[in-house]
Amino acid sequence: MRANDTTTKIFYKGSSEDFIVFVDDVKILEQWRQDRSIALANVLNGWKIFVTHKHGAQGVLDGASKSTLQNEFGTDDEDTCMTKILEKGEYQVTSGKEHQGDTNLRNGPAMISR
């Protein structure tokens, strides 16, 4: 993924933790919400549930542990937890900042002086 590409994520505010999963396209997510015959693999962008440690949708992302999933959803089965997040979460589309590289590579790497 390039730094300036858009990212679509589903944010689920739980009672003890905030969860995020990434999806490929909002349209496919909406179709999945209406028609469960669509495979989750076609909806998700990576099969991972993230937590933000109660810092909302913009917090640092860590992988959700089985105990965190068990505490929030009553199960540590990722398929079941993923389904609940996709059903009840809200989607957010963000675009990252474009990175600026070195402009003159013959000067050597950019270094911070202390």
Residue 106: predicted pLDDT: 64
pLDDT at 1: 45
Predicted pLDDT of residue 59: 73
The predicted pLDDT at position 55 comes to 76
Cα separation, 47 vs 23, whole angstroms: 10
The segments of the chain whose pLDDT lies below 50 read: 1-2
pLDDT of residue 113: 55
At 96 the pLDDT is: 57
> Which residues, listed in sequence order, are joined to residue 13 by a DSSP beta bridge?
18
